[in-house]
């Protein structure tokens, strides 16, 4: 089985996670895919295969060298984003992309155009996997899983490539910020690891956002509109007032680079009650803490205006910027850079405007930067995957394994 067939098999599985669940995994369908992957790893000849009740899957490719090579790992997540449907994905391969518009869906007229997504032009002449315009593709992060599994197969097919013990880990619920919460770092047993969860070719990231989530409940008082003066408290209107207190300069659509933001994920309500959820992001830890305090102050102001406990707010941390944990072990980055350079790939070391499971794992004692998997335009129907990019991700993993075997020479 080649890497393309492997990926296309993976996206047949709907693995969308859910923010509303209190279980791990957040959706049972992720376990269905995890069991399929477990069987595939067995067929691929890996050892120590372990799928736990929470949907975390671990396995080992034993080393083939007498050198004292560090044990390293590669990690990807099984879930897809709640932002778009991951059910009944119908991928299509566009052969030798010509640089023009790609019609995704004839019925709706949805088009993937380089005028809107100029990244396409960097892959002119390549074979691209695209959606049918009704779902996301799932390259985030099934391209990462395919790259890891194919790399393990490649290493077994090429015993002349020396490597130490290689661990692989696949987890649920990364897209809702919970992927690493129950990841067993001790069981994984690595000196360091890499998440294969990035975008375009060459991306290498060891800085990410500090991240928090916010859940807000607004309690209103519903009375007849004809007799509402001095009595009605309209929860839905207060929700819109709260959103309007967020600076327009601090939204995802108005920020870039190292700029942080507040993002309204969900709003539902009526006069009697309303519910809202936000995510808060900033690379700078002090600014991150200030953003969380700002949200709490908004709630306090609205309670002062409308009455005690009208607005209740919960702010909870999700992950932190892994830079402070990776910088002391920069050989982890140096090896990845050298691997790419030896493959003719130009490394693009940059900060993530997002996060990965590696951020949490780094704070739990497993330094874990992020490497590209090849997909572009995640979390929606415009997602696409250049096939050569996924293949280069696979070969980068192979080369890292080879270079790590020489680490203690």
Point out the residues that are catalytic. Answer: 79, 174
Residue 344 burial (CB < 10 Å; 0-12/13-18/19+)? exposed
> Which class for 210: exposed (0-12), middle (13-18), buried (19 or more C-beta within 10 A)?
buried
> What are the CB-based long-range contacts (under 8 Å, 24+) for 332-338?
332/192, 332/194, 332/206, 332/367, 332/369, 333/204, 333/206, 333/369, 335/400, 335/403, 335/404, 335/407, 336/194, 336/204, 336/369, 336/371, 336/396, 336/400, 337/204, 338/403
Instruction: Give 82's Cβ-side CA count (13 Å radius).
Output: 15
Query: How far is Cα of residue 385 from the mean position of the Cα atoms in its chain?
Result: 15
Count of other CB atoms within 10 angstroms of residue 213: 17
Dihedral sign for Cα atoms in the order 79, 348, 282, 379: negative
Other CB atoms within 10 A of residue 28 CB: 10
CB 233 within 8 A of CB 180: no
| Cβ atoms of residues 210 and 319 within 8 Å | yes
């Amino acid at each position: 089985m080649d890497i393309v067939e492997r990926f296309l098999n993976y996206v047949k599985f709907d693995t969308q996670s859910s923010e509303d669940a209190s279980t791990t995994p957040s959706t049972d369908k992720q376990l269905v895919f995890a069991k399929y992957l477990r069987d595939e790893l067995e067929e691929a000849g890996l050892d120590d295969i372990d799928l736990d009740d929470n949907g975390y899957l671990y396995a080992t490719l034993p080393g083939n060298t007498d050198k004292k090579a560090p044990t390293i790992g590669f990690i990807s997540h099984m879930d897809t984003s709640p932002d778009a449907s991951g059910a009944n994905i119908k991928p299509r391969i566009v052969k030798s992309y010509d640089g023009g518009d790609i019609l995704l869906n004839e019925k709706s007229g949805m088009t993937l155009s380089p005028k809107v997504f100029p990244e396409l032009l960097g892959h002119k002449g390549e074979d691209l996997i695209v959606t049918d315009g009704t779902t996301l593709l799932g390259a985030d992060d099934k391209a990462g899983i395919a790259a890891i599994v194919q790399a393990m197969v490649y290493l077994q097919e090429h015993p002349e490539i020396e490597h130490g013990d290689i661990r692989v880990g696949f987890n649920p619920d990364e897209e809702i910020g919970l992927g690493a919460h129950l990841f067993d770092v001790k069981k994984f047993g690595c000196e360091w690891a890499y998440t294969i969860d990035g975008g375009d070719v060459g991306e290498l990231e060891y800085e990410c956002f500090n991240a928090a989530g916010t859940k807000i409940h607004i309690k209103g008082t519903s009375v007849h509109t004809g007799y509402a003066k001095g009595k009605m408290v309209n929860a839905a209107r207060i929700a819109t007032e709260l959103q309007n207190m967020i600076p327009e300069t601090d939204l995802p659509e108005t920020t870039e680079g190292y700029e942080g933001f507040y993002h309204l994920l969900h709003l539902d309500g009526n006069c009697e009650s309303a519910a809202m959820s936000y995510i808060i992001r900033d690379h700078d830890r002090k600014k991150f803490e200030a953003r969380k305090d700002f949200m709490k102050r908004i709630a306090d102001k609205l309670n002062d205006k409308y009455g005690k406990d009208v607005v209740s707010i919960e702010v909870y941390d999700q992950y932190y910027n892994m830079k402070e944990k990776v910088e002391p072990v920069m050989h982890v980055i140096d090896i990845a850079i050298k691997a790419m350079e030896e493959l003719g790939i130009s490394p693009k070391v940059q900060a993530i405007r997002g996060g990965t499971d590696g951020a949490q794992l780094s704070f739990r004692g497993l330094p874990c930067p992020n490497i590209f998997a090849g997909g572009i335009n995640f979390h929606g129907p415009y997602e696409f995957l250049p096939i050569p990019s996924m293949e280069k991700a696979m070969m980068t993993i192979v080369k890292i394994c080879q270079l790590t075997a020489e680490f203690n020479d």
